[in-house]
Structure 1
């Protein structure tokens, strides 16, 4: 088995293809499935869902979460990228869209959904691991449990 050495920019291109596939309903720029971007034994973490292991579970996770979204748009011009030694890159960004419970936009309100951070491990042109950190309460309905929000 041989491993292909990838540059940071190549890993970044895979991560961008992944994010653009979300904006395009799970379809990549070549017309394939977002799952084509993953290694067979990849892992994905999503808050309130947990860790999905392997493409079958990742497909279930994306179906569950995607089933709550009407649309999503990532703000590519505002991404912050962090590159580490090895196969790990981090992308911090913002988004807007519409959840089944209502629309969201990063910064509206300032405490609401739309800010996120993804930690990727990308090797051999495949995503091996991505941990997604965000507030899954896209429509900002979960305010009663937080006194500083319910007072506003």
Structure 2
């Protein structure tokens, strides 16, 4: 795949994820491998649905900052670094302004589909685990 094709699929992934659209599954290879912090590894499209289900009833909104995503292609891989903002259980976060909201995804592609996506972020989006922050809350996020 060409780099621009991978980037287009990743952009679509973030937009469909933000919309909560089931069409996101169409971007995945049937044998997709998923990693998300505290969820661990999952395999297949059903694992993605299981991971998303963990946010049911608590994730009110999410929006990735599409205009400022950093794309780093390498062979079959595409690394995407960026920020998101949203609302979880009535509390908001915004990457760059709060501890949560910065992320890095590592995509791998096969047959023009996502065969693997590993998500790296702090799943404590709204900083509820602040008591265990080692550097206090005065840091620049």
Counterpart in the other structure of 2:123: 136
| Divergent runs of 4+, >4 A | none
Given candidates 11, 17, 22, the residue that maps to 2:12 is 17
Q: Which moved more, 1:8-17 or 1:63-72?
A: 63-72
Counterpart in the other structure of 1:43: 33
Residue deviations 1:15-64, cap 9 Å, x none?
Answer: 11110001111x1xxxx521121111111100011011111112111221
Distance 1:33 1:137, change over 3 A: same
Matched, 1:117 2:93: no
Are the aligned partners of 2:60 and 2:90 in contact in 1 as well (CA < 8 Å)?
Answer: no
State TM-score, norm by structure 1. Answer: 0.84
Distance in 1 separating the partners of 2:137 and 2:78: 36
**Unaligned regions of 5+ residues in structure 1, if any?**
1-5
**Unaligned regions of 5+ residues in structure 2, if any?**
none
What RMSD in Å do the two structures reach over aligned CA positions? 1.7
Are the aligned partners of 1:101 and 1:139 in contact in 2 as well (CA < 8 Å)?
Answer: no
Distance 1:66 1:115, change over 3 A: farther
Distance in 1 separating the partners of 2:138 and 2:16: 38
Matched, 1:69 2:74: no
State TM-score, norm by structure 2. Answer: 0.90
Are the aligned partners of 1:144 and 1:150 in contact in 2 as well (CA < 8 Å)?
Answer: no
Corresponding residue SS for 1:11: helix
